[in-house]
Amino acid sequence: MKDFGEPRVHSPVDLKRNADLLAALAHPIRLQIVDGLLAGHSDVGSMVECLGHPQALISRHLKVLRAAGVVLAVRDGRRRFYRVSRPEVADVLRALPFRTAADTAKEIAS
């Protein structure tokens, strides 16, 4: 077995919080929502229009993200605006290997 090197000490609370974060992000639609919210706040209607998914589906995914503390909803009159509430989420998304549209087009063409 490979040596893990110097062991790091993790608190059970941190381990659970990080596992919840990763579980909340572990869906393509939730990744799209969070990626969009990193650019600024948005309401459900705008997300529906931008992502092309039904309102009920977007709301269901937002509920998961809210429960994990990934996003926060702020009421403005009758509308709720969502924003990312955990700054480390940006680092997590930056670490993921996303391809550009040009890369995808090249892959399809070959």
With a threshold of 0.85, does the pTM exceed it? no
The answer, yes or no, to whether residue 7 has pLDDT greater than 80, is no
Q: For a pLDDT cut of 90, what percent of the chain falls above it? A: 66
How many angstroms separate the CA atoms of 38 and 16, rounded? 23
pLDDT 10s digits, 60-71:
999 999 999 999
pLDDT 10s digits, 11-30:
889 889 889 999 999 999 99
How many angstroms separate the CA atoms of 7 and 80, rounded? 43
Over residues 88-101, the mean pLDDT reads 85
How many angstroms separate the CA atoms of 8 and 65, rounded? 28
The answer, yes or no, to whether residue 54 has pLDDT greater than 70, is yes
pLDDT 10s digits, 27-44:
999 999 999 999 999 999
Lowest mean pLDDT among 7-11, 22-26, 44-48: 7-11
The answer, yes or no, to whether residue 49 has pLDDT greater than 60, is yes
